[in-house]
Amino acid sequence: MIEAAIQGTLNAFSFSVLPWTIVGVLIGLLTGIIPAIGVGTAMCIVLPLTYGMSPETALSLLIAIHAVGGTSGSIPSILINIPGTPLNAAALLDGYPMGQKGQAGRAISAALTASGLGGLFGGLVFFALIPVACNIVMAFGSPEAFLTALIGLAFLATLSRGSTIKGLVSGLVGILLSFVGLKGMTTLPRFTFGIFELYDGIPMLPMLIGLFALPEVIEFALRKRSVVTIDKAIMAGAGEWKQVLEGMKDVFRHFRAFLTGSIIGTVVGIIPGIGGQTASFVAYAQAKQLSKHPEMFGKGSVEGVIAPEAADNSKEGGSLLPTLAFGIPGSGLMAILMAGFLAHGIIPGPGLLMEHLDLTFTMLATLIFANIFGAILMIPIIGPISKICLVPGSIMAPLVLVIAALGGYAVDSTYFSMLMTFISGGLGWAMVKFGYDRICLLLGFILGIMVEQYFYVSISTSGFSFLLYPIPLILEFIFIFVLSFDFLKGLYSRRVR
C-alpha cells in the first residue's frame, strides 16, 4: 500500500497530470464564482474533452474542478448575497453582513483559507481510512458488489431533494434508460428501435451534458438576468491586503470553528445521500453553539463564514470514500464524477481499491493539492476576480450552449451525439421544472446496468443462495434500512412530537 501511495502521489505531480490539475483548478474557481453556472455543469462539459487523456490526467482534472468549485463560490455569497454554488448558501448568512460592514476582503480571505485547510483535513481523513476500506472490500465478490450497487440505488429516495415518489421515478427511469442497447449479460440489443447508434446504449456523456448544462442555459435565456448590481463599498473592501491578511489569521484565531466545520463536513461526506448543503448548515449551527459570541451570528461573525466553508471542502475527502471504495456516490457531484470514471473504463467500487490503488492515491493527492492551490491562487486576486460574478445571463447563455453542444459532439464527432445532448437537455429542463430529480436519474443510469450485470454473475456462480451469505446479509440489512429511512425518520419525529 505504501508503494501505491508513493506511486500515486508521484503520478499526481508528474508533468502529464499536474498542468491539467491546474487547469481544473482554474475552471473550478471560475465556475464557482459565476452564480448558476454550477460545478456540475463545468464537469459535464469538460468530460468529453478528456477522452484522449490517460485516466490519471482526466480524473485529476475532474477532481480539481470538483474540489475547488465550492472554494470560490463563497465570493458571490459575500459580495452580492447570491451563493456561487448551493454549497455556499450558509456562508452568506454572515459573509454578506461582513461585506456590508466593509470587511468583504476579510470575509473572502477567511472563507478561502478555511476552504483550503478544510480540503486538506478531509483529504487526510480519507488517507487514514483507505486501509480500513481496503480490508473491507477484499472480502467483496459479485454478490457483495450487486448488493452494494443496490444500496446505491436505495439512496435514490434520500438523494431526492423533493418528493420521494418523483425521486424514485427519476431513478427508475434512469435505470430503464441504462438498459438501452447491447449491454449487460444479455446477447440481445434492447430498446434500440432500429436506430444503429443506440446499439452501444444511450451515450452517457451527451446525456450528462444535456441533463446538467442545457437546463442552465434555458434558465439564463428565459430570465435574461440583468447585470447584478453591486455595492461599491462592498467591492472596495474585497481587494484590501490588510483585510486579506486579517481573514487568514482569523481561521487560526477561531480554530475551534474551523475544526468543528471540518469534522462535520468529513463525517457528512462519508454518509451518502445527506448532501453538502446539510454539512455547511450543520457546521454553521454547531459553530454558533460553541462560539463565545453566538449573538454575533447573522450580523457578520467571521466564525459563521469559517465553519461552513471548512465543512464544504472537507466533505469532498469524506464523500470520495463511499464513491471510490463502494461505488456509492455520496452526492450529486460524486455521481457526475462517477460518470467520469466510467467514461474512462474504470468502475468505482471494490475493484477500484484492489486493482487501481495508485489511482486512488493520485486522486487523493490531487484533491489535497487542488484545495490548497485553489485557495492560495485566489487570495492575491480577490479584488479583480470578484468582478467575474457580474457576467450577465444573456452573455452566458449562448457561450454555455455552444460549449455544451461542442462537448456533446466531441464525444464521437457525430451529429447524433449532439442531438442526444439537446434531447437530454429538454428532458433535464422538464425534470427541473416539474420537480423530478436529475441526479437520481443519473444515479439510476450509472448503477442500473451494474446491478443487472452483478446479479446475473452472482446467480450463475452460486444461485440465489448468495443472498444468505454473511456479508450479503449485512448489506441486505443496510439496504432495507436505507429504503425505510424516510419512513423511520417520520415515525421518530411523530413520536417525539
> From the CB of 449, what's the least distance to other proteins, in Å?
9
Q: Does residue number 161 form part of the binding site for other proteins (CB under 8 A)?
A: yes
Q: Does residue number 448 form part of the binding site for other proteins (CB under 8 A)?
A: yes
Contact segment (CB under 8 A) with other proteins among 94-102, 227-235, 373-381, 403-411 equals 403-411
Contact segment (CB under 8 A) with other proteins among 61-69, 123-131, 159-167, 235-243 equals 159-167
Contact segment (CB under 8 A) with other proteins among 25-33, 135-143, 210-218, 324-332 equals 210-218
CA–CA separation, 188 and 390 (whole Å): 52
The binder of other proteins chosen from 425, 439, 443, 483 (CB under 8 A): 425
CA–CA separation, 112 and 386 (whole Å): 13
- The CA-to-CA distance between both ends of the chain, in Å, stands at 50
Q: Which is nearer to other proteins, 171 or 272 (CB)?
A: 171
The binder of other proteins chosen from 179, 200, 256, 267 (CB under 8 A): 179
- Whether 106 contacts 304, CB under 8 Å: no
The binder of other proteins chosen from 435, 467, 476, 485 (CB under 8 A): 435
Output the 3-class SS for the chain: CHHHHHHHHHHHCCCCCHHHHHHHHHHHHHHHHCCCCCHHHHHHHHHHHHCCCCHHHHHHHHHHHHHHHHHHCHHHHHHHCCCCCHHHCCCHHHHHHHHHCCCHHHHHHHHHHHHHHHHHHHHHHHHHHHHHHHHHHCCCCHHHHHHHHHHHHHHHHHHCCCCHHHHHHHHHHHHHHHCCECCCCCCCCECCCCCHHHHHCCCHHHHHHHHHCHHHHHHHHHHCCCCCCCCHHHHHHHCCHHHHHHHHHHHHHCHHHHHHHHHHHHHHHHCCCCCHHHHHHHHHHHHHHHCCCHHHCCCCCCHHHHHHHHHHHHHHHHHHHHHHHHCCCCCHHHHHHHHHHHHCCCCCCHHHHHHCHHHHHHHHHHHHHHHHHHHHHHHHHHHHHHHHHHCCHHHHHHHHHHHHHHHHHHCCCCHHHHHHHHHHHHHHHHHHHCCCCHHHHHHHHHHHHHHHHHHHHHHHHHHHHHHHCHHHHHHHHHHHHHHCHHHHHHHHHHHHC
Q: Does residue number 434 form part of the binding site for other proteins (CB under 8 A)?
A: yes
Q: Does residue number 485 form part of the binding site for other proteins (CB under 8 A)?
A: no
The binder of other proteins chosen from 98, 431, 443, 447 (CB under 8 A): 431
Q: How many residues bind other proteins (CB under 8 A)?
A: 60
How far are the Cα atoms of 80, 104, 352 from residue 240, in angstroms, in the given order?
18, 9, 46
Phi-psi region of 224 (alpha: psi -120 to 50; beta: other; left: phi over 0): left
Q: Does residue number 184 form part of the binding site for other proteins (CB under 8 A)?
A: yes
The binder of other proteins chosen from 185, 227, 381, 473 (CB under 8 A): 185
Q: Does residue number 473 form part of the binding site for other proteins (CB under 8 A)?
A: no
Q: Does residue number 151 form part of the binding site for other proteins (CB under 8 A)?
A: no
Nearest to 265 by CA among 319, 331, 311: 311
> From the CB of 162, what's the least distance to other proteins, in Å?
3
Footprint of other proteins on 53-112 (CB under 8 A): none
The binder of other proteins chosen from 413, 494, 496, 497 (CB under 8 A): 413
Q: Does residue number 238 form part of the binding site for other proteins (CB under 8 A)?
A: no
The binder of other proteins chosen from 19, 162, 298, 490 (CB under 8 A): 162
Nearest to 84 by CA among 425, 302, 391: 391
- CA-based radius of gyration for the chain: 22
Q: Which is nearer to other proteins, 132 or 491 (CB)?
A: 491
CA–CA separation, 344 and 333 (whole Å): 17
Q: Which is nearer to other proteins, 116 or 174 (CB)?
A: 174
> From the CB of 168, what's the least distance to other proteins, in Å?
6
Q: Does residue number 402 form part of the binding site for other proteins (CB under 8 A)?
A: yes
Q: Which is nearer to other proteins, 399 or 468 (CB)?
A: 399
The binder of other proteins chosen from 128, 165, 236, 473 (CB under 8 A): 165
Footprint of other proteins on 14-43 (CB under 8 A): none
> From the CB of 360, what's the least distance to other proteins, in Å?
28
Q: Does residue number 419 form part of the binding site for other proteins (CB under 8 A)?
A: yes
Footprint of other proteins on 339-398 (CB under 8 A): 394-395, 397-398
Q: Does residue number 173 form part of the binding site for other proteins (CB under 8 A)?
A: yes
Q: Does residue number 433 form part of the binding site for other proteins (CB under 8 A)?
A: yes
The binder of other proteins chosen from 150, 169, 353, 475 (CB under 8 A): 169
Q: Which is nearer to other proteins, 49 or 245 (CB)?
A: 49
Q: Does residue number 233 form part of the binding site for other proteins (CB under 8 A)?
A: no
The binder of other proteins chosen from 200, 219, 231, 476 (CB under 8 A): 219
Q: Does residue number 176 form part of the binding site for other proteins (CB under 8 A)?
A: yes
Where do contacts with other proteins occur on this chain (CB under 8 A)?
Answer: 49, 52, 161-166, 168-169, 172-173, 175-176, 179, 184-186, 188, 190-191, 214-215, 217-219, 221-224, 394-395, 397-399, 401-403, 405-406, 409-410, 413-415, 418-419, 422, 425, 429-436, 448, 452, 456
